């Protein structure tokens, strides 16, 4: 549909024969994804012109009615073959939508409705000039051959007379070519978005990477982001006993974005267990954790399965990004859960803990490599603190006892000389794990490296003082203001430990410094209270589901309007 409007051409602007094109600037090259084939000059600076065919790429829209505001603006140097306005044909995804050939100078519009499509469809509008074949050919001859009579056609003055000012969808501006540096309206596109994500992970498994996926569900819910929850079918050693989201599990992944919580090598098995269609046509994000400063070269092929990687900490992001051909972004875990309300005495009785002792707690998964989790350091620090005979005791909770019987036996031997030590090897559900954390006075983690440190963050959320190695991801949120950072020195691995290769670097915590922290917390109630309150505030302010979910939303918006 073509509607004439009041003539408003500003033809007095001077012509620059060889105008600079802002899109040639590398800083704005990325904007080509929204439009191409439209160019700017100083003849009519508040609009763009088309050499032959221009393309506009629309984001997924809930609106359907589109109006292109154009103008026939006679050029003072257009005469002979270049005189008169070219015609314009509009196509949507290759189908005719509108056409015009203005007979008189002035503005006009092209109006049409987009064809019905699913909500995720991205339309392409093509703007094709008619009546410019001969003058374009002569322009090409002038540029390529230097043929004298063709030189005057090189500036394509006939084409420049048909100007595109803006594109509207349901009355809102989607492209405004008066803003030549940023014609695309991301604000409009953002308002049109229907965001959502498919969260795939070990959502029922009792292990850290399973809790990683459950943390994401909490954050997505807090941000009101629709999510489809898919329990990964890939095999896992740990018990699948967490039923927190059992009622929401499904096999379909209807949203445009998949976020897959899986160790990098597991990527090769996704299609086998979930079918090739699971990843096909989606924007696939791998949620990866890694615990050392250098990402393994052997894992770089697994980037091919994803469009982007999310990581729980800057420490992980820096390691992964150094080897990654795709974007790598920090998306921390959301830390929030119902705090246990039972009296501490009842909680201690529930787990058979001594009622009258100051309890230092350490939790780790035997499948996460004891050499990295470093339980011996916690045991030795407690031993050197001298608190075992002064009213304090050590509580050690392990996961995955089955299959790791030798490590459990060695652990019992290590604590045999520490009276009152409690070793818990039973598998606990999340609610009981939080009760155990709440029942103890202080959490200790003298790890050699962490990709995030879920148990540390959980205990901080519960208002507990935490003693932790001052290195890797935990150093990003635990410091002397809200916890007890333990000095550490960098050491080089002298052997392979699971995926951690010889020659890599991790930390060796100072056992005596950790023991000193234990003594200070045991003796100073005020210190315990101050650190616990600050720790809780850190988690609530920086890692709440609202905060982390807001990060998801902003990133999904950026992906969707790309």
Residue 373 has pLDDT above 60, yes or no: yes
* Mean pLDDT, rounded, for 127-150: 86
pLDDT in tens, 486-535: 999 999 999 999 999 999 999 999 999 999 999 999 999 999 999 999 99
Q: How far apart, in Å, are the Cα atoms of 368 and each of 237, 291, 398?
A: 11, 11, 11
* Mean pLDDT, rounded, for 469-475: 98
The answer to whether the CB of 264 falls within 8 A of the CB of 286 is: yes
| H, E, C per residue of 170-235 | CCEEEEECCCCCCCECHHHHHHHCCCCEEEEECCCCCCHHHHHHHHHHHHHHHCCCCEEEEECCCC
pLDDT band at 151 (very low <50, low <70, confident <90, very high): confident
pLDDT of residue 366: 83
Residue 29 has pLDDT above 50, yes or no: no
pLDDT of residue 9: 52
The whole-angstrom separation of Cα 92 and Cα 409 is 70
Residue 19 has pLDDT above 50, yes or no: no
Higher pLDDT: 18 or 345? It is 345
The token duo for 445 is 């983690």
Residue 106 has pLDDT above 60, yes or no: yes
Residue 26 has pLDDT above 70, yes or no: no
30-34 — which CB contacts under 8 Å span 24+ positions? 31/182, 31/183, 31/184, 33/57, 33/562, 34/175, 34/183, 34/184
The answer to whether the CB of 97 falls within 8 A of the CB of 196 is: no
pLDDT of residue 145: 81
* Mean pLDDT, rounded, for 87-111: 95
In degrees, rounded to 5, the angle at the alpha carbon of residue 250 between the alpha carbons of residues 244 and 251 is: 140
Residue 61 has pLDDT above 80, yes or no: no
Place of tokens 């100007």: 163
pLDDT of residue 529: 98
pLDDT, mean over the chain: 90
Q: Which residues pair with 53 in a beta bridge?
A: 128
Q: What percent of the chain has pLDDT over 90?
A: 75
* Mean pLDDT, rounded, for 208-236: 96
Residue 150 has pLDDT above 80, yes or no: no
The whole-angstrom separation of Cα 38 and Cα 326 is 29
* Mean pLDDT, rounded, for 420-429: 92
Q: Is the pTM of the predicted complex or chain greater than 0.95?
A: no
pLDDT band at 194 (very low <50, low <70, confident <90, very high): confident
Residue 423 has pLDDT above 90, yes or no: yes
The whole-angstrom separation of Cα 135 and Cα 153 is 7
Lowest mean pLDDT among 88-102, 358-372, 445-459, 539-553: 358-372
Q: What percent of the chain has pLDDT over 70?
A: 94
pLDDT in tens, 320-351: 999 999 999 999 999 999 999 999 999 999 99
Q: Where are the alpha helices (DSSP H) in 233-374?
A: 270-274, 314-321, 344-351, 370-373
pLDDT of residue 351: 97
* Mean pLDDT, rounded, for 136-163: 86
pLDDT of residue 515: 98
Length of the chain equals 562
pLDDT of residue 461: 98
| Helix (H) and strand (E) counts in the chain | 15, 24
């Amino acid at each position: 549909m073509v509607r004439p409007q009041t003539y408003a051409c500003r033809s007095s602007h001077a012509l620059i024969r060889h105008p600079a094109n802002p899109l040639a600037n590398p800083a704005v090259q990325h904007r080509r994804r929204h439009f191409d084939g439209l160019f700017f000059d100083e003849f009519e600076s508040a609009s763009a012109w088309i050499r032959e065919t221009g393309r506009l790429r629309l984001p997924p829209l809930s609106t359907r009615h589109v109006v292109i505001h154009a103008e026939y603006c006679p050029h003072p140097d257009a005469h002979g073959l270049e005189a008169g306005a070219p015609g314009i044909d509009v196509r949507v995804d290759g189908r005719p939508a509108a056409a015009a050939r203005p007979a008189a100078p002035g503005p006009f519009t092209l109006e049409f409705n987009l064809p019905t499509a699913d909500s995720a469809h991205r339309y392409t509008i093509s703007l094709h000039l008619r009546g410019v074949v001969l003058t374009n050919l002569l322009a090409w001859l002038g540029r390529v051959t230097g043929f004298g009579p063709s030189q005057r056609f090189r500036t394509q003055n006939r084409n420049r007379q048909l100007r595109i000012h803006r594109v509207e969808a349901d009355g809102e501006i989607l492209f405004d070519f008066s803003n030549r540096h940023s014609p695309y309206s991301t604000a409009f596109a953002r308002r049109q978005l229907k965001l959502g994500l498919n969260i795939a992970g070990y959502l029922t498994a009792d292990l850290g990477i399973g809790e990683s996926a459950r943390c994401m569900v909490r954050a997505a819910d807090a941000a009101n982001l629709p999510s489809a929850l898919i329990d990964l079918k890939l095999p896992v050693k740990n018990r699948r006993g967490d039923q927190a989201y059992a009622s929401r599990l499904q096999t379909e992944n209807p949203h445009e974005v998949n976020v897959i919580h899986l160790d990098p090598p597991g990527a090769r098995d996704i299609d086998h267990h979930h079918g090739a269609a699971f990843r096909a046509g989606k924007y696939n994000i791998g949620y990866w954790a890694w615990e050392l400063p250098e990402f393994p070269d052997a894992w770089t092929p697994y980037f091919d399965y994803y469009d982007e990687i999310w990581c729980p900490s800057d420490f992980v992001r820096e390691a992964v990004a150094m080897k990654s051909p795709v974007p790598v972004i920090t998306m921390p875990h959301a830390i929030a859960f119902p705090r246990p309300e039972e009296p501490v005495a009842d909680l201690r009785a529930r787990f058979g803990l001594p009622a009258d002792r100051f309890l230092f707690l350490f939790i780790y998964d035997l499948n996460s490599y004891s050499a990295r989790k470093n339980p011996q350091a916690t045991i030795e620090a407690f031993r050197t603190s001298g608190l075992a005979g002064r009213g304090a005791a050590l509580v050690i909770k392990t996961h995955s006892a089955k299959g790791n019987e030798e490590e459990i036996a060695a652990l019992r031997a290590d604590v045999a000389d520490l009276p009152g030590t409690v070793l818990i090897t039973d598998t606990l559900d999340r609610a009981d794990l939080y009760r155990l954390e709440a029942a103890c006075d202080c959490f200790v983690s003298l790890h050699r490296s962490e990709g995030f440190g879920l148990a540390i963050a959980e205990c901080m959320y519960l208002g507990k003082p935490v003693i932790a190695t001052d290195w890797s991801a935990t150093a990003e949120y635990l410091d002397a203001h809200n916890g007890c950072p333990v000095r550490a020195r960098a050491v080089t691995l002298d052997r392979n430990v699971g995926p951690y290769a010889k020659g890599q670097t991790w930390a060796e915590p100072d056992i005596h410094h950790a023991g000193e922290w234990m003594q200070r917390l045991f003796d100073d109630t005020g210190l315990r209270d101050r650190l616990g309150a600050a720790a809780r505030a850190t988690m609530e302010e920086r890692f709440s589901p609202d905060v982390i979910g807001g990060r998801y939303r902003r990133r999904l918006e950026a992906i969707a309007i790309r």
